[in-house]
Amino acid sequence: MTSSPPLSGIDTHAHIFDPRAPMAPGRRYAPSYTATVEAWLGHMARAGVSHGVLVQPSFYGTDNHLLAEALAAYPQRLRGIAVLDPAVAERTLAEMDAQGFVGARLNLVGKDLEDYTSREWQRFFHRLAEIGWQVEIQRAFEDFAQLLPAISRAGCAVMIDHFGLPQGGIDAANPAHAATLDMLRQTPNAWVKLSAPYRSGQDAARASASLAHLRAACGGLGRFVWGSDWPHTQHETAASYAQQVARLEQLLPDPDDRRRVLVENPAALFRFT
């Protein structure tokens, strides 16, 4: 175990994996290479980013043991977002909370939306809220108008992955996009992760325009965090860690704004303070 460096930045979205580890049936993607926590920490060090959050890849399903091992190796520097069955045992939740997990992920891309107002889902979300966990969601931007009120009412923070995946960028003239922006105005416990603009076909100009819409809807920068999305699965040749750091600097040229998104906002939400 190594000591923790001073908090200079938090990368709130990265993945580690080993293709030899058992993977979930029905997965949409399986990697052919290894992504280690040490490799990721090396990229972070070169970029001046001190702490990070590992997100469970969907292809491992609810087997979060690789993340748990990384959190045990770097307990002061790392936190984790798990994939869980909504019926997860209370004892398991408590154990994972002690290990450094701080949220549960719902990767809803390519899936039929369920009734998240149901008794089963609401009980799950309330249990997460009781221990201070967040719910992280990956889904198309327009669907968050439906998802946010159903999940946020339980009291947990809701993290919107990857700008909300607005294909081609946010279009305020699109009624579905406008509905999600309006819902962001009404949902103070909804957060947005500025990560992976390449997953929604956004170049620098489109990402900047999307951020302007999101910033206006959220009333400033107080509900934004940043993530590298390393190792950029299925986009490895089009993206790099350094490029994603540079993109953030383009999005937020003001150093105070960047510090807010890189340090101040995520520090408490992900329990680094």
Q: What is the per-residue pLDDT across 224-236, written as a single tens digit (0 to 9) for each?
A: 999 999 999 999 9
What span, in angstroms and rounded, lies between the C-alpha atoms of 1 and 267?
Answer: 21
Sheet containing strand 224-226, edge to edge, reads: 10-14, 51-55, 78-82, 101-107, 134-138, 157-160, 190-194, 224-226
Rounded to the nearest integer, the mean pLDDT of the chain is 96
- Cβ–Cβ < 8 Å for 207, 177: no
Distance linking the first and last C-alpha atoms of the chain = 19
Question: 75 φ, ψ to 5°?
Answer: -65, -30
pLDDT digit string (tens) for 18-51?
Answer: 999 988 888 888 899 999 999 999 999 999 999 9
* Residue 104 binned pLDDT confidence (cut-offs 50, 70, 90): very high
Predicted TM-score (pTM) above 0.85: yes
